[in-house]
Amino acid sequence: MSADSASDQPQEPIKRRRTLGAGEQQRLATEFFMENNLQSTFTETVRLLKILITTPMTTAESERCFSTLKRIKTFLRNTMSQ
């Protein structure tokens, strides 16, 4: 056997782990608490996780709304003077 015989065999593709976003991590942690009946032991922790799940992670959506509002107001101001 030659040294090249190992390279002739098809190699398995490298499996990459998908990183979880912050929202997914919080949701999984909450599910873990609920499935294992830990909510009675860690009531404040479960409550905190529920609050963290509902809060937005970024301000991009609100910034988009404000920029859209700014464009609408500018358009209305420009059309009023005509």
Length of the chain: 82
pTM higher than 0.95, yes or no? no
In a domain, 2, yes or no: no
Report yes or no on 16 lying in a domain: no
Number of domains in the chain: 1
Is the confidence at residue 1, as pLDDT, over 80? no
Measured CA distances, 35 to 20, 22, 30, 45 (Å): 20, 20, 9, 15
Q: What is the domain range of residue 68? A: 21-80
Would you place residue 8 in the very low, low, confident or very high pLDDT band (cuts 50, 70, 90)? low
- In a domain, residue 14? The reply is no
* Residue 5 resides in a domain: no
Q: Within a domain: residue 75?
A: yes
pLDDT, position 72: 92
Let me know if residue 3 belongs to a domain: no
Q: Is 12 exposed, middle or buried (0-12, 13-18, 19+ CB in 10 A)?
A: exposed
Q: Is residue 8 part of a domain?
A: no
Residues 14-43 have pLDDT tens digits of 666 666 666 677 778 778 877 888 777 788
Give the per-residue pLDDT at 52.
Answer: 75
**What band does 5 get if pLDDT is binned at 50, 70 and 90?**
low
In a domain, 63, yes or no: yes
Structure confidence at residue 17 (pLDDT): 66
